[in-house]
Structure 1
Amino acid sequence: MKYLRQILIIGSITFAGEMLHILIPLPVPASVYGMALLFLCLCLHVIREEQIAETAEWLLAVMPVMFIGPGVGIIDHYTSISDSILPFTAVVLLTTVLVMGVTGATVQGVMALTGRRRKKG
């Protein structure tokens, strides 16, 4: 019953993200709206981490399986995309390095801010 409740919580937030995607005319994927909603709910303590922890861990554990389909699609359509494989690879590598750098800088900034707050408090 605990897992069903957790799935319903995560599913409800995902559904709310889908509704926001339909209602707000911005080029933002529904999954981003859902993640923002979940983040907001966790920060405002509307949802506690313990309420979704086991199901979230399971979803993270099976996430690599979700990349099998797109990988097979790329291999299946290799002849169609072979002319643009070099630009595609360059973009993937560049954006990966960029995302890693921005993520690292953000984490360091947040850690510095929380460290200052702990020293003051």
Structure 2
Amino acid sequence: MKYAFQFALIISISFIGEILNMLIPLPVPASIYGLVILFFCLELKIIKLHQVKEAGDFLLVMMPVMFVPSSVGFMTAFPVMKKYGLCFLVIAVVTTFCVMVITGHIVQLIIRAKNKKTSKEN
């Protein structure tokens, strides 16, 4: 029964994300809305971690299985990939590098801000 409640809670938040996706005209996937809502609910202690932990662990274990259909679909698109493979590779490498650099800078800014805050408190 505990697992049913946990899954129902996660699905309810995902449903709220779907509703927000329909109401807010932004190009943001509904799953992102749901993740943000769940994050804030956990951060604000509206939902306790133990209320979703086991279901979340199960979903994380099952995640690799969910990539099988997309991998099969990717294999059926091989002729297109063969034609434009170099372009896709360059785009993947450049965007990965950009994400790493931007993420690193943001983390450094957060660490510096946190250090300034703690030094002011002391």
TM-score, with normalisation over the residues of structure 1? 0.84
Deviation at 1:27, TM superposition (A): 0.9
Larger Rg: 2
- 1:37-56 matched pairs, under 5 angstroms: 37-56=37-56
Aligned mates of 1:113, 1:53 — CA distance in 2: 31
* 2:101 alignment partner AA: G
- The 1:17–1:94 alpha-carbon spacing in structure 2 relative to 1, beyond 3 Å, is same
**Given residue 84 of structure 2, which amino acid in structure 1 is its aligned partner?**
S
Runs of at least 5 residues in structure 2 that lack an aligned partner in the other structure:
none
| C-alpha RMSD of the superposition | 2.0
Identity of aligned residues (%): 40
Does residue 95 of the first structure (1) align with residue 95 of the second (2)?
yes
- Name the count of aligned residue pairs: 121
Any unmatched runs of 5+ in structure 1? none
Confirm or deny that 1:16 pairs with 2:16.
Answer: yes
- Structure 2 length as normaliser, TM-score? 0.83
Amino acid at match of 1:86: L
Residue in structure 2 matched with residue 66 of structure 1 by the alignment: 66
Amino acid at match of 1:83: K
In structure 2, what is the Cα distance between the partners aligned to 1:117 and 1:42? 24
Q: Can you list the C-alpha shifts for 1:32-88, whole angstroms capped at 9, x where unaligned?
A: 111111111112111111111111111112212222221211111211332211111
CA distance change for structure 1 residues 28 and 52 in 2, over 3 Å: closer, same or farther? same
